[in-house]
Amino acid sequence: MELRKRVKLRKLQHTLGLSQDAAAAGRCSSNIWGAGRSNASQRGTGEGYLLGGSGACSGLEILPWWPWRQCVSMAAGLLLAGLLALAQAWCVNAIHENLLWFSQLTEVEREISFRTECLSDLIHDNLTESKRTINLLQRMNIYQEVFLSVLYRLLPIQSYLEPVYFYIYTVFSLQAVYVIALYLTAWLLSGSWLAGTLTGVWYILNRVDTTRVEFTISLRENWSMPFLALQVTAITCYLRPQLTDLQQKVMVWLMYVTTFCFCLTWQFNQFILLVQALIIYSLDCLDFLTTTQVTTLYLVQVSSLLSVWLLQFCNSMILGSLVLSFIVAALFIRHCQPGLKTGSPLVRLGRLLLHSAMVLLLTVTINYLAKAFGLLPFDTLERLAGTLLLYPYILTLLLLSGTLAVAALHNLRVKGGAAEERKGAVEGRAGALRPDVAYNLLHTLFYGLLAFSTMRMKYIWTGHMCAVAAYGVCGKELWTLLLSTLRCNSKVLVRDLTYCSLSALNTRFLSLILQLRLVRYAVPLLVIACLYYKFWPKLMEELSELREFYDPDTVELMTWI
């Protein structure tokens, strides 16, 4: 009888993902800490889920997800994503109209309202481009305007939609795409569309620090940021375990298309991709990515930049960019050091430091260093804290950073061998950090440092910050850790329940799972309710505030011209 009880206990541990031996327990991809490869026989089809973290076998989920429940949950999540995207587009459109009374402006006034700071310099400076014929497609990132002009001519909308409205509606629609991309990223990380909902709400409420589209429509970043967010979503999905070959190929093409569109629409693309290349390099050094993944991500960046180089009539700034120099240096040094990740931990650490020094030295030799701009004002953090965004973000950052450090130290102790074999061993370990989570952690850390050093780059950081904070609130990791401190640790449960009856075992384990699920669902709903109570009246007041565009001197000058 005692033997039967212990066998039943092991089965429950295996089902709940509580076993410390991940290889024996066959941990599933929904367990972020384990993130191992489950057997095809356990998964049935052998394919991973692109959205959601709970499939047929999912870590701490004891209640099965039937196909109809998955469809309903997926439909509800996608519907909420669309509603939040429409809400953001409508909100920025209404505020833009109320700030300028845009519908009542003349054609000249509408054009002036886009951007007029450079007009004075243009009038008094005739030396910068004097006596030269400028190829705008080569010197400026204006392909989006060219594409829109062609599209406007082709579509049968000229009779009832003015060109300027077609332009601003397109920009506002990209804001909707931005919200959807952040929503999907949070959903992929946490496995719950509640995280995506919280991400969208935070993005809308922190609009002052997440976008400048309301008062500067024609900024290049308003075109490029949505594509960068889509690229991060594609990378997050690409780095998830258990993807089929077809799914990986689709993600690679999505990464290329989104990276290409991002590079084509913003002049600062090379600096943003340089930070991303540093993230990939760091994950490679810490053994979170396989050789194939690292090479693929590098080649996506290189191919996108070269495609833009061709479209911009062989712009020399792209070929001489720091990111291309860094990628070439990283791949070259990596090829010259095939035994970089073998040997004892101290030997591997020394080789990594030498490898990094050689990459940086070769990069500086190929190219030059760039300067930074203004610092991030601290009132930004006060506003982010006022919307309850900063606190869960910091807590999530600390938790994941500690896990990343532990996983990196463990990776350095793993002996040499094929990269895929070592990665599989790490994924099977209970303390491992999933590659897509590790990428998003370094993404928010690196771009956070960039935001603090360069104020205008904060708009890259704050949007992704919403997704990371929502992942911390809705993911299993934070709540599993907190429940563990309240005597809900799996080892304690196994020890206490060893001599319980089978019915008591089922009751106690089911109680733990329902408690975790209740907390994961109740807390984000409570946060959303608090945000609604606190900010809904302010948002309505802001939307009802009416102003008017007034710049008679510039209007007179442009009319004369």
DSSP codes, 260-312: HHHHHH-TTHHHHHHHHHHHHHHHHHTT-S-HHHHHHHHHHHHHHHHHHHHHT
In a domain, 424, yes or no: yes
Report how far apart, in Å, the C-alpha atoms of 454 and of each of 377, 442, 450 are.
Answer: 10, 18, 6
Q: What is the pLDDT along the chain (561 residues), one digit of tens a residue?
A: 444 444 444 444 443 333 333 333 333 434 434 443 333 333 334 444 566 554 333 333 434 556 778 888 899 999 999 999 999 999 998 888 887 777 666 666 666 666 545 545 555 555 555 556 677 788 888 899 999 999 999 999 888 888 888 999 999 999 999 999 999 999 999 989 999 999 999 999 998 899 988 878 888 899 999 999 999 999 999 999 888 999 999 999 999 999 999 999 998 898 899 999 999 988 988 889 998 999 999 999 999 999 999 999 888 888 888 889 889 888 887 766 555 555 445 445 555 555 455 555 555 444 444 333 456 778 888 899 999 999 999 999 998 998 898 888 887 776 444 445 445 544 445 456 889 999 999 999 999 988 888 787 889 999 999 999 999 999 887 777 777 766 544 444 444 444 455 555 566 667 667 777 788 888 899 999 999 999 998 888 887 776 666 566 666 666 666
Q: Scanning the structure block, which residue is given the tokens 């196994």?
A: 494
| Number of domains the chain contains | 1
67 domain-assigned: no
Residue 222: both structure tokens together: 């308003």
Would you say residue 5 lies in a domain?
no
- DSSP assignment of 104-166 equals GS-HHHHHHHH--TTHHHHHH--STTTT----HHHHS--HHHHHHHHHHHHSTTTTTS-HHHH
**Residue 524, in any domain of the structure:** no
Residue 466 included in any domain: yes
- Beta carbons of 258 and 336 less than 8 angstroms apart: no
> What separation, in Å, do the N-terminal and C-terminal C-alpha atoms of the chain show?
96
8 A C-beta contact, residue 144 and residue 223: yes
Instruction: Give pTM, 2 decimals.
Output: 0.79
At CA 320, angle to CA 316 and CA 326, rounded to 5? 155
Residue 437 domain flag: yes
Q: State how far the Cα of 103 lies from the Cα of 96, in Å rounded to an integer.
A: 10
Q: Does residue 122 form part of some domain?
A: no
Cα–Cα distances in Å, from 381 out to 67, 102, 447, 525?
Answer: 43, 32, 15, 24
Residue with tokens 């967010």: 229
pLDDT digits (tens, 9 = 90+) for 157-173: 888 888 888 999 999 99
The answer to whether 174 and 163 have CB atoms below 8 angstroms apart is no
Assess if residue 393 is contained within a domain.
yes
Domain limits for position 457: 151-482
